Amino acid sequence: MTFTGEINATYRPVATPPELDGPRTRTRFLATGDLTDGHFGLFQWDMVPEAGGPAAHYHKTFSESFYVLDGTVSLFDGANWVTAVRGDYLYVPPNGIHAFRNESDEPASMLILFAPGAPREKYFTELAEIVRTGRQLGDEEYTEFLAEHDQYMV
């Protein structure tokens, strides 16, 4: 049996503008689930000083990993907050409670890996649009929005 390779790589130059550029965070969708045929999603998450972050939550259908590229990021592993610095890594399996935030007075950057490649970019773009327009979601509507994107607050 003969195997041959394919020419099918995707290159993303560093100069590619971020897909989301908000007042507190900038997000680059480096590899979406669509691009990787559902194998994984990889985002770069850049935060301004004291950007905050999401409250404790979990996802039922995918794992999430965090790798700190620069700065200091507070990571919640479901039991404890840890102060993560460049090179630190946190893996959260499906159903694992977690959170992250930048509480420092310096910018921070990290990679977020989703596996399998859930369409998380849709969650982030829809959330950014809600914030941009000032739309207010009621409790029930917010819970439905989160559930649609496999995000459950604790």
Counting the structural domains of the chain, the total is 1
Range of the domain at 76: 20-153
In a domain, 1, yes or no: no
What is the enclosing helix (H) or strand (E) of 63? strand 63-70
In a domain, 99, yes or no: yes
Tens digits of per-residue pLDDT, 21-67?
Answer: 999 999 999 999 999 999 999 999 999 999 999 999 999 999 999 99
Q: Which residue has the tokens 């590619």?
A: 16
Q: What pLDDT, on a 0 to 100 scale, did the predictor assign at position 3?
A: 84
Please report, for the domain that includes residue 31, its CATH number.
2.60.120.10
In a domain, 6, yes or no: no
| Mean pLDDT within 119-127 | 95
41/129 Cα distance (integer angstroms): 21
Phi and psi, residue 115, nearest 5°:
-145, 130
- pLDDT confidence of 20, banded at 50, 70, 90? very high
Q: What pLDDT, on a 0 to 100 scale, did the predictor assign at position 117?
A: 96
Given the DSSP bridges, would you call strands 20-21 and 25-31 parallel, antiparallel or unpaired? antiparallel
| Mean pLDDT within 5-23 | 95
In a domain, 131, yes or no: yes
